[in-house]
Structures are given as structure tokens and as C-alpha cells.
Structure 1
Amino acid sequence: MIKKPLKIKCDDGLDARPIALLVQEASQYESRVFIEIGSKKINAKSIMGMMSLKLSGGEDLTVVAEGVDEEAAANGIEKFLEHAR
């Protein structure tokens, strides 16, 4: 299992389109991928779950990946979030 702490860099946070793209990114991997914020742990492959997080700019989160391609999954989500607008 890999846990990667990250920060949302987009000042406006993530709305529906970037969230949908994030779910697509997470869905490419065999590993289970979750986003943790505080006490919430949401499946990053679930569009409804991810929309419920209402990710704001500057917010701290942790990407958790577990499975055969966990390193690639965590790195892919990190790269996506670094460039999300």
C-alpha cells in the first residue's frame, strides 16, 4: 500500500469536469485507489463519491493506492492533481 499526501493546487478547487477526468485516471489502474480527506475515505473510481468531496483549492488530501500497480496509480493521480485546472 502506498499513501501520498498532496495538496490541491488549483485555486478554484475541482469542479465536475476535472473530477470526471480524475475518476478516468484512477480507473486506468488495477489497484484500488482512494482519496482521504480528514476522516473520509472515498473510492477514486467512483464519480458520485468523488463529487461528494467538493475538493477546494489548497486542501490537503492523501492518495492511497493498493494493488499490483499501486506505485503507478499513486504517481498517476499525483501527476493529474499537479496539472488539474
Structure 2
Amino acid sequence: MEQELVITNSHGLHARPAAVLVEKIKELDADVRIQVGAKTANAASIMSLLALGAGPGDEARIISEGPDAGAAMETVVAILTADS
């Protein structure tokens, strides 16, 4: 499953939301990748996520596969579009 969105989290994907995202993704049985521009990150790796340098207003493509793909997608979308 794939979804494109604009990151509306006012801080982008900085350390705190990246850490929360990694923690939640590791609880699910899904392979999740986030693509911003030419860079792609494994959503289960904080270093990979931080290397994206994703900020507010950036367009992201989320790719989620596996038994928990739907729940993983919802988690990523919620974090990338959170108000804080």
C-alpha cells in the first residue's frame, strides 16, 4: 500500500517524532519506507529517518507492506501530520 502526503507536522521529522515512529513501527509486522525527494528511509531506523532531513511542507511517499501494513500506514500518517 502506498500514500503520498505533505508533512504538516510543524517540526518536520526531527528526533522526537522519529523516535516515536520507530518505536511504534517496531511493534507492528510491516516493512515501512518513507521517501522524500530522492532519499528513502526505513521507518524502523531512526538514523535512516533523520537522514531524510524532512521538514514541514515536504512531500513524502509512504510505502507499507506486510500483515500490519494498514496500521503502520495510519501510524506514519498520524505522526507526519500531527500539530506538534
TM-score w.r.t. length of structure 1 = 0.86
> What is the root-mean-square deviation in Å for CA atoms of aligned residues?
1.4
Q: Which residue of 1 aligns with 2:14?
A: 15
Question: Aligned with 1:22: secondary structure?
Answer: helix
* Identical residues among aligned pairs (%): 32
2:32 counterpart of 1:71 = no
Give structure 1 regions of 4+ aligned residues with deviation exceeding 4 angstroms: none
Distance across 1 between alignment mates of 2:73 and 2:65: 9
How many residues end up aligned between the 2 structures? 84
Cα distance change on mapping 1:12 and 1:35 into 2, 3 Å: same
Which residue in the other structure is 1:29 paired with?
28
For normalisation by structure 2, the TM-score amounts to 0.87
User: Please, which moves more after superposition, 75-84 or 34-43?
Assistant: 75-84
Measured after TM superposition, the shift of residue 84 of structure 1 is 5.3
